[in-house]
Amino acid sequence: MSSYCLFQEPWWLDAVAPGAWRSLEVKRDGSTVARMPIVLDQRYGFTIIRQPPLTPTLGPWVELTSSKLMARLAEQKVLFNSLIDQLPRWDYFHASFHHSITNWLPFYWRGFKQTTTYTYVLDDLSKTETIWMGLRGEVRTQIRKAEKKLSVRTDLSIDQLLDMVELTFLRQGKRLPFTRELVHRIDKACLARAARRVFFATDSDGRIHAALYLVKDAEYAYYLLGGADPQLRSSGAQLLLFWEAIKLAAHLNLKFDFEGSMIEPIERVFRAFGATQVPYLQVYSAKPLTKVLLLMRELFLQRS
């Protein structure tokens, strides 16, 4: 399994962090054997290396030559240290590693910390009948109900998708955590490379019940964005669109990554599709003064 994915592509980074990213690389005999894109941000005089918006994973990619585990770990250590050595001066570092990267010891030895988060993956879509039977019974019932009342469309606009996403955040009392311009940049880049699909569930009156945005590379289809009209949530539209996205991934011989959430109600939905829970690493570190400021900010937010 390769840790190189869609979110490490230069064109993706140009869309989500234009002019703010660079690539740390290690070469051997003229070929790149390790790479780690980073996004730099300056805030209040501090240099922050951060995860760009709408980019679930971004971390090191390495090409290992040995087939023996002992030698591979040693090689990985050398390559990771070479990447760490290239990091510019920073005050805060945060990166979500691709789930195929399970060894973060070289980062630990260099003073970084880690927390584990989870996604859900369907890695065998060769038989959609098997996947269908793996769904929780109530999910299958909701999808069947939605199929009778709703139509799935792919011809509506990105702004109509964003309207659904925004309604979902408003229901939670939150604002859209990214700009519409950002999503339009992503969509333009993906559309040029046939790397996205957009699904809408509509009723006979033309009302949009839900929308889903899917991106893909050579190995995976990833759920990136989605939302629903809070007044029409009982229609099962979101579950229907997930099922349509999974069927598309199966047709394209891809795996499906829900890009899992740590929010309990969302995790419950992803788990109900019979997907496998897969851990991935959030690696981070902060200089002492930055830690103090981050703690002060957290205390301020708790009191406000």
- Condensed to tens digits (0 to 9), the pLDDT of residues 164-204 reads 999 999 988 899 999 999 999 999 999 999 999 999 999 99
Which CATH number, 3.60.150.10, 3.30.2290.10, 3.30.497.10, 3.40.630.30, labels domain 126-253?
3.40.630.30
Question: What span, in angstroms and rounded, lies between the C-alpha atoms of 20 and 85?
Answer: 20
Q: What is the domain class of 6-118+279-303 according to CATH?
A: alpha beta
Question: What pLDDT score was predicted for residue 45?
Answer: 81
Question: What pLDDT score was predicted for residue 264?
Answer: 84
User: What's the pLDDT tens digit per position in 46-63?
Assistant: 899 999 999 999 999 999
Q: Which residues contact 214 (CB under 8 A, 6 or more apart)?
A: 196, 197, 198, 199, 221, 222, 223, 224, 245, 248, 249
Question: What span, in angstroms and rounded, lies between the C-alpha atoms of 163 and 165?
Answer: 6
CA geometry: angle 57, 293, 22, nearest 5 deg: 35
Q: Which residues contact 298 (CB under 8 A, 6 or more apart)?
A: none
Where in the chain are all domains bearing CATH 3.40.630.30? Answer: 126-253
Question: What pLDDT score was predicted for residue 91?
Answer: 92
User: What's the pLDDT tens digit per position in 107-119?
Assistant: 999 999 999 999 9
